Structure 1
Amino acid sequence: MDDSWKDWVHITKLDPDKVIDNDTVADIATSGTDALMLSGTLNVTQENMRELIMQVKEYDLPIVVEPAGPEGVVLDEVDALFVPSVLNTPDMRWMVGTHQKWVKHNHIDWTRVIPEAYIVLNPASSVGKVTAAICDISAADVAAYAEVADQYFSFPVVYIEYSGTYGDPKVVAAASKAVSDARLFYGGGINNAEKAAEMGQFADTIIVGNAVYDDGVSALRATVKAVQ
């Protein structure tokens, strides 16, 4: 994939494990969002990922898959894979283990892979539970993780993930100050223009997911307008 993704300021995240009708997909595609990210932690299969891709592929929007594991990797009809590595977990499967298994058994087109350094900060979320992420950490801890990801590992993306709850802007601000080369993504609890604008001050890109299902496309459009 080329570097055009670095210009995205708003991404809509859709979960293969959730049902969404075609009319809603059409409304999302015309909301002004920069890209669609197909991603989920639980119950993601090749089948439901491909079904979601078929729903969204007809629209003139970049489509990326963010797999939780090798079973969620689908490259047909999509532009790129955004592959997470969770930094704040003691379980190295989520930093490099599942990745090694994926590479071992597949030929990888690395030109279509964008690595993401995840810092997971909601212990009640599915991703927090599955990865056993250590979420009770300070803004300084988060900033240090972000700097390590950016300067030591050279991740192109540092992703602050509050997954389902609205995070602490001071934490995101600290991460923003620590990152100089990577793009800073923020996801979690953005369901209105005010929250989008607040996190958009610090993050290069905001990701809106649950609001699509819980609050509707009007809420999504408000978040788009707030950052574009």
Structure 2
Amino acid sequence: MDGAWYAGWRHLFKLDPDREISDEALDALCMSGTDAIMVGGSSGVTFDNTVELMSRIRRYAVDCVLEVTSLEAAVPGFDYYLVPLVLNADKPEWLIGRQTEAVREFGHLIPWEITAGEGYLILNGEATAAKVSGARTDITEDEALAYVQAADRLMRLPVVYIEYSGAFGDMTLVKRAAQTVSQARIVYGGGIDSPERAVQAASSAHTVVVGNIIYSDLDAAVATVQAVKETNLAL
């Protein structure tokens, strides 16, 4: 991997601006040793709730990255920005339409040096992101890997996020994806609700994202940090 700002990330917590989190819980996450806090969500994300969450995270030294899913939530002041392109979306607007609209309107304001494209491969049909984008999730492993290779080698996207939000995914597929990329970083998210699952994901993907468990079992979420940091990528 190269020396880009996202290259050293092994563990991320993902926080949804539309979900409540106490100051105590946020303190535990930001002081846990995670590499970064990602802010983003598939619905209910607004400028106001994104600004509010960012301002709370900014009290800590941890990197703070915004996953830009709507123009309304394109908030300045984050350390970094990731722009998702849903690779398997049935609706072209989620692959390139919304992104070009944003560039047309705000291109002169975009901090390109801290912004990166993020190829999104959504593989859980029940996930909100899949329903919103019309993602075609009933695909074979070979089809999924073809999306990964196209993102990596044709589109030259620096990050490919394999998303199973709400379910624990196929680690064999995730590992094959990490083995097949030439320059992209494979990020995995979905169903990591224990240190044991965090270890499985960390041995298969370059970066592991922990999200939903934060809101139901904070101790388990925090425990995933050390679990990931102690696990080597096994390719």
Smaller-chain TM-score bracket? over 0.9
Structure 2: how far apart are the matches of 1:62 and 1:75?
A: 14
Structure 2: how far apart are the matches of 1:142 and 1:201?
A: 19
Structure 1: how far apart are the matches of 2:197 and 2:51?
A: 32
**How many pairs align?**
225
Structure 1: how far apart are the matches of 2:164 and 2:59?
A: 30
Q: In the TM superposition, what is the alpha-carbon distance from 1:135 to its structure 2 partner?
A: 0.4
Structure 2: how far apart are the matches of 1:175 and 1:124?
A: 22
1:163 maps to a residue whose letter is: S
Within the candidate set 161, 164, 167, 2:166 is matched to 164
1:2-29 C-alpha deviation (Å, 9 max, x unpaired):
7232101000000000001111111111
Map 1:104-183 to 2 at 5 A. Answer: 104-106=104-106, 107=108, 108-183=110-185
1:141-170 C-alpha deviation (Å, 9 max, x unpaired):
111111111111100001100011111112
Is 1:55 matched up with 2:56?
yes
Structure 1: how far apart are the matches of 2:69 and 2:216?
A: 22
Map 1:187-202 to 2 at 5 A. Answer: 187-202=189-204
2:209 match: secondary structure: strand
Structure 2 partner of 1:30 = 31
Structure 2: how far apart are the matches of 1:70 and 1:151?
A: 28
Structure 1 partner of 2:101 = 101
TM-score, length-scaled by structure 1: 0.96
Structure 2 partner of 1:223 = 224
Q: In the TM superposition, what is the alpha-carbon distance from 1:97 to its structure 2 partner?
A: 0.4
1:46 maps to a residue whose letter is: F
1:75 maps to a residue whose letter is: P
Structure 2: segments with no counterpart, 5+ residues = 230-235
Structure 1: segments with no counterpart, 5+ residues = none
Structure 2: how far apart are the matches of 1:140 and 1:222?
A: 33
2:182 maps to a residue whose letter is: S
Structure 2: how far apart are the matches of 1:215 and 1:137?
A: 32
1:192 maps to a residue whose letter is: S
Structure 2 partner of 1:7 = 8
TM-score, length-scaled by structure 2: 0.93
1:89, 1:131 within 8 Å by CA — same for their partners in 2?
yes
Structure 2: how far apart are the matches of 1:7 and 1:30?
A: 18
Structure 2: how far apart are the matches of 1:98 and 1:89?
A: 12
2:67, 2:84 within 8 Å by CA — same for their partners in 1?
yes
Structure 2 partner of 1:90 = 90
Structure 1 partner of 2:233 = none
1:105–1:4 CA distance, 2 compared to 1 (3 A): closer
Identical-pair percentage? 39
1:35 maps to a residue whose letter is: A
1:35-84 C-alpha deviation (Å, 9 max, x unpaired):
000001101100000010111111010001002121121122x1111110
Structure 1: how far apart are the matches of 2:28 and 2:62?
A: 12
